[in-house]
Structure 1
Amino acid sequence: MKVLIAPVETAGFVANLVQGLRQLGVDAESYVSERHSFSYGDEEEKKSPTVRLWRYLGTLFQRKPPLPLLVRAALLAAQSVVAWFVLLRSIRLFDAYIFVAGKTFTNTRLELRLLRFLGKRIIFVSLGSDSRPPYMSGGYCAGMAPDKAAPRVVRASKKVSKAVQFQERYAHYMVNAPGTGQFHRKKFVNWFSMGVPVAEAEEQSTEGGTQESRPVRILHSPSKPLLKGSNEIRAVIASLREKGYAIEFIELKGVPNAKVREELARCDFVIDQLYSDTPMAFFATEAAHYGKPAVVGGYFSACVNQYVHSDDIPPSAYVLPEQLEGTVARLIDDKLYREALGRAARRFVRERWRSAAVAKRYLALLNDDVPDSWWCSPADISYLGGLGVSDKELRAMVRYIVDHYGWGALQLQGKAALKERFARLLS
């Protein structure tokens, strides 16, 4: 079986899954639509001219600072045309497709119909934002008043819901996390049962110096500070300092990954984000390589054991947002706990999330060898948290949508449990 993984790279997910499949003897390759800033070893020189052109156009389109609007429109149109040639080339070469982040080459029904007609295996892997209801995502509404954000959120909710159902219709399997599976109509494979493919790591230094001789060093590296709750995290650090805690707080943004790794090796622990629907996102996973524990806030922490088997829960200090300060204080005070949690996190990513181990589970999906424990039923989902949004902000947004657009705008038709939870939330 020849497997293609495409078309979006996020934090090495695609590259690591390719390497894991190859370690199992599977002929696997990746096609990604733009050059990632960290490269992730995608072997560009071995790609066909058509694939290289497709990616070159996508890279120019995403260039920072952006090119003029008309130039970007022309690039997008050109890449969309070339995408069909990339698809047709892939059909000759591959038997199975693993599509990442809800995207395909052309993002059309015709593409998936063609792949199914030709007997290709199809798996969709969600990474959160591509399936999460937009009113549960700070990426759509953080820092905005409901009346300003609601029109965009309502349009996006309809679009995302349709996309999820569109993928469900044609995919052999959908992989998604319970905290972002509210729009599903059919059962899907629990993302936590599969895991994040992590590259084989060299032994990393975990030395942060002697605690008695220096302040505790805490690292925060937000890709999007507003979404990650950085203001609230800074306030927690300030409060602890006022209480007498000696803290060296390092915040990194927009720096090369090598600088992040350097600080990970030097810190005592990291604070990832305030509102997360997973105990260990990509930054916390990278910290685990160095044996450094992560403090992660999120409402899903209250129910993670309800949706995820204990063996599949990555070790972190995953707590409710209002518990963040107390949890940070505990990691400062209790060095033994902090170091034990760091060791557990490193062991988890090196064993459970090792590229070959995760790839073996995806290979099982491709071969229709799916244990019952991997399945997640959308009827069982009643979680209403989300990413980058507080419960107060979520309540205000949903109330505005329901009052001005009606319940149908939430795209939760047939989801009695979720509707009941929202009704209680608004009461």
Structure 2
Amino acid sequence: MNAPHPFYANAYDYDLVGLTQGSLFPSLKRAKLFGELVANHAGIIYLGQNAFLGAQDDFREFEFRFITERGRHLVVMFTGSDIRSPEVMREIEERTGRPNIATYLSATAGSAGGREHERVLKVTADRAVQYADAIVTASVDQAGYLPQGTEPFRYFFPDEDVGSDLSKFDSGSPRVVLHAPSSPILKGTPLVRAAVDSLRAEGLEFEYVELTGASHEQVQAELERAHIVLNQFYAYVPGVFGVEAMAAGAVMLTSADENIEPDLPRGSNEAWVVTQHFEVERKLRELLLADAADLSAQAARGQKWVREHAVASVSSQAMRELLDRIENR
């Protein structure tokens, strides 16, 4: 672990921050651990774009070469904007007519989409292609400079945390609508707020909860109460929060769409309510007026999707099969 996660407090086998804290030679400590890990394992999986040895200007070429020259396997998994190109995503927006994360990325990260940013993404992709035995990503949602033939991105949600109790839909109390954006502009929060205000003006009764920058524990507590979750409206995949929402038995509105993102399993659109950015108010109104039995049935489909495609046991088996194929080449 390079730094504490802003939302999760998970334990890791190695805390690189703690490992080097107070050390006169922090880079040597990292290098020693890196060498030991490479020597004692058949391969290394990199998550994201960061180098293990800290800040470098070679885009991990030394590390990747060190690993592969010693006969070890290398898998690189990208998670989003570490490989997503605003320039390429704008081309997708023009082709599909649907705005995406890159549409508003420059409003939240000023350097995003500039020449230097695109150069970094190109070289990052080139290094992965040059050295990795396999690359894991979402081919359209995280489109950039990777070639075709990548492996589908996978979620590793704890099996035991997928709920089954949907009795909250039997309550006669007002329905709870939750929105918990990690980045309000990129997740479509202005659209959500406008929809909520409009529906309240119509006289619809519901409880709206919005969480920004909240801990995972806070979000999870609200998910347990939520009947409807407004996820994100510029993405083509459900994201980690979307998986958490469905696992908790909430009906999810999101722009994730298997017709645009081919890496999603067929039938995924049945697990959530596909909602484009201009449909938030209409789709939310329909759910607020729907029968409790219909909402419960939709929530059950979401939980089923998580169990079949997004839990740790399923994703671990898929990754193991991928690693076996690599070793047996």
TM-score per shorter chain, which class? 0.7 to 0.9
Q: 1:78 to 1:172 in 2, by over 3 A?
A: same
- Partner deviation per Cα, 1:86-129 (whole Å, 9 max, x = no partner): 21121221111111113331352111111111111111111111
| 2:301 aligned residue (344, 361, 364) | 344
| 1:173 aligned residue (120, 134, 138) | 134
Q: 1:264 to 1:89 in 2, by over 3 A?
A: same
Query: How many equivalent residue pairs?
Result: 305
Displacement after TM superposition at 1:266 (Å) = 1.1
| 1:362 aligned residue (319, 325, 329) | 319
For 2:39 and 2:18, the matched residues in 1 are separated by 22
- Sequence identity, in percent? 19
Displacement after TM superposition at 1:302 (Å) = 7.8
Gaps of 5+ in 1: 1-31, 45-50, 61-73, 371-427
Aligned partner letter, 2:219: V
Gaps of 5+ in 2: 54-58, 90-101
- The residue that corresponds to 1:253 in the other structure is 212
For 1:174 and 1:277, the matched residues in 2 are separated by 19
Residue 34 in structure 1 maps to residue 3 in structure 2: yes
For 1:152 and 1:307, the matched residues in 2 are separated by 25
Q: Assess if the C-alpha contact under 8 Å between 2:166 and 2:296 holds in 1.
A: no
For 2:112 and 2:241, the matched residues in 1 are separated by 32
Q: Assess if the C-alpha contact under 8 Å between 1:35 and 1:56 holds in 2.
A: no
| 1:154 aligned residue (111, 115, 134) | 115
3-state SS, counterpart of residue 310 of structure 1? coil
- Partner deviation per Cα, 1:317-363 (whole Å, 9 max, x = no partner): 12211112111112112233322121111112123222121111111
| 1:141 aligned residue (88, 106, 123) | 106
For 1:83 and 1:181, the matched residues in 2 are separated by 32
RMSD: 2.9
Query: Normalising by the residue count of structure 2, what TM-score does the alignment of the two structures yield?
Result: 0.82
Q: Assess if the C-alpha contact under 8 Å between 1:124 and 1:174 holds in 2.
A: yes
For 2:298 and 2:212, the matched residues in 1 are separated by 25
Displacement after TM superposition at 1:311 (Å) = 4.7
3-state SS, counterpart of residue 250 of structure 1? strand
Q: 1:307 to 1:56 in 2, by over 3 A?
A: closer
3-state SS, counterpart of residue 114 of structure 2? helix
For 2:227 and 2:145, the matched residues in 1 are separated by 39
For 1:365 and 1:217, the matched residues in 2 are separated by 41
Matches within 5 A, 1:11-90: 32-36=1-5, 38-42=8-12, 44=13, 51-52=14-15, 54-56=16-18, 80-90=27-37
For 1:151 and 1:269, the matched residues in 2 are separated by 32
Q: Assess if the C-alpha contact under 8 Å between 2:44 and 2:72 holds in 1.
A: yes
Q: 1:359 to 1:222 in 2, by over 3 A?
A: same
- The residue that corresponds to 1:297 in the other structure is 255
Residue 330 in structure 1 maps to residue 286 in structure 2: yes
Which structure has the higher relative contact order (CA within 8 Å, separation 6+)? 1
3-state SS, counterpart of residue 34 of structure 1? coil
* Structure with the largest fraction of helix: 1
Q: 1:35 to 1:251 in 2, by over 3 A?
A: same
Q: Which moved more, 1:332-341 or 1:94-103?
A: 332-341
Q: Assess if the C-alpha contact under 8 Å between 1:264 and 1:292 holds in 2.
A: yes
For 2:112 and 2:223, the matched residues in 1 are separated by 41
For 1:204 and 1:313, the matched residues in 2 are separated by 20
Displacement after TM superposition at 1:248 (Å) = 0.9
3-state SS, counterpart of residue 244 of structure 1? coil
For 2:144 and 2:312, the matched residues in 1 are separated by 28
